[in-house]
Amino acid sequence: MEDTVAPVAQQLDSQKAPVFDNPDRNLAMELVRATEAAAIRAVPFIGRGDKNAADGAAVDAMRTFLATVAFDGVIVIGEGEKDEAPMLFNGEHVGNGRGPSCDIAVDPIDGTSLTAAGRQNALSVIAVADRGTMYDPVDAFYMDKLVAGPEAIGVISLEQSIGDNIRELAKAKRRDVEEIVVAVLDRPRHAELIEEIRAAGAGTRLMRDGDVAGGINASRWESRIDMCAGAGGTPEGVITACAIKALGGFMEGRLSPQSDEEHRKVIAAGHDLTRVLALDDLVSSDNTYFVATGVTDGQLLDGVRRKGPLIRTESLVLRSKTGTARRVIAEHRAEKWLEKDSHRD
């Protein structure tokens, strides 16, 4: 009897703490819970003009849920120095430590200004890849990005002019140049880029914020956006790369400091400002996850909505290993969230 019981007991113990070499499919739904929580907690701050309060609520909620996830995660892309965040900072360990070892990139609200102003396209985002496979953009806050769908692979590049890229992409997609639409962040630094796009004959889709959604839309076949170009956040670029891997699209980046101070820090950190970073440079793993939940309505996802006693969320889950894209519609009983608030008090 003792000989039988011992192996069974050992088997049960091993089942309590499974060990995985890589993130597996069960991780997706665990991550969705964290982005859903962050998006829901941000809702009271939509249109209230306080982006720091919105971000703080989302950070707190995401971190709480990530602590329960079965993985050993290290934040590579976090709130970081740029946001002076006390939680979800670069280098922080998250998860319960009993699963796969992962690099984690988080943006509890991609579009805090959008949320504070009550504008569209704010998202809560998490990206995951195998440990040691995400590009670490230490001290590099901005990069030039070029993102498009699978047709762009081997056709466009940051080493070409935007006009040439537009013309080559139009040929690859068998469309007229006039039909091409390029998404660009609406910033003074992009005034010349916008003029060049229009001079080439293409149209623009100007974004107030949220270039993660812009990049993803540029890679989705059903989107009206064909390309996303211009300088945006380097952390957001790495997060976007995890999504583009799953969508089979094209992406390149090149560091683009926007101030003398940033330029000095980037050089001191050993970065090469002339190097064009391919998709595999931004994230080398072929097993990436990208999870996003809409905070406010947008082209990519619907925002959080209250429907009577229910809170409705819409999320997008992408996995590069399987090439799958799933939309998750969830209805949460509002009273349960009120209970969580009372427990926190």
pLDDT tens digits for range 106-134: 999 999 999 999 999 999 999 999 999 99
Confirm whether residue 234 is marked as ligand binding. no
Range 142-282 has CATH code 3.40.190.90:
yes
The Cα 126–Cα 124 span in angstroms is 7
Q: Do domains 27-132+288-336 and 142-282 have the same CATH topology?
A: no
Of the candidates 16, 23, 32, which has an alpha carbon nearest to the alpha carbon of residue 101?
Answer: 23
178 is in an annotated binding site: no
- Confirm whether residue 179 is marked as ligand binding: no
- The structure tokens listed for 40 are 């829901």
Pick the CATH number of 27-132+288-336 from 2.40.30.60, 3.10.20.740, 3.40.50.10800, 3.30.540.10: 3.30.540.10
Query: Is 281 annotated as a binding-site member?
Result: no
| Closest C-alpha among 130, 136, 109 to residue 304 | 109
209 known ligand binder:
yes
Residue 339 among known ligand-binding residues: no
Angle between helices 234-247 and 211-219 (to 10 degrees): 20
pTM of the model: 0.87
- CA dihedral of residues 28, 281, 145, 73 (deg, nearest 10): 30
Under DSSP, the state recorded for 228 is: E
Does residue 205 contact residue 225 with C-beta atoms inside 8 Å? Answer: yes
- Annotated ligand binding at 186? The verdict is no
With a cut of 50, say whether residue 210 has pLDDT above it: yes
Residue 14 binned pLDDT confidence (cut-offs 50, 70, 90): very low
How many C-alpha atoms does 171 have within 13 Å on its Cβ side? 9
Between residues 9 and 71, the one the model is more confident about: 71
pLDDT digits (tens, 9 = 90+) for 232-256: 999 999 999 999 999 999 999 999 9
CA 68 to chain centre: 21
> So where are the chain's domains?
27-132+288-336, 142-282
Judged against a pLDDT cut of 50, whether residue 258 lies above it is answered with: yes
* Residue 250: φ, ψ to 5°: -115, 140
Crossing angle of helices 162-172 and 191-199, in 10° steps, is: 40
Residue 200 parent element (H or E)? none
Tokens 């406010």: give the residue. Answer: 296
Amino acid letter for position 54: A
For the residues 177-181, what does the mean pLDDT come to?
97
Kindly state the helix (H) or strand (E) to which residue 64 belongs, with its residue range.
helix 51-66
For residue 1, the model assigns a pLDDT of 40
Check the annotation: does 309 bind a ligand: no
Using alpha carbons, list the distances in angstroms from residue 295 to 16, 138, 261, 309, 315: 35, 28, 33, 19, 10
Please tell me whether 107 is known to bind a ligand. yes
Taking the C-alpha atoms of residue 304 and residue 296, their distance in angstroms, rounded to an integer, is 6
For residues 43 and 71, the answer to whether their CB atoms sit within 8 Å is no
> Is 135 labelled a binding residue?
no
**Helix H or strand E encompassing 330:** strand 324-333
Q: pLDDT tens digit string along 49-104? A: 999 999 999 999 999 999 999 889 999 998 755 445 557 888 899 998 888 899 99
33 is in an annotated binding site: no
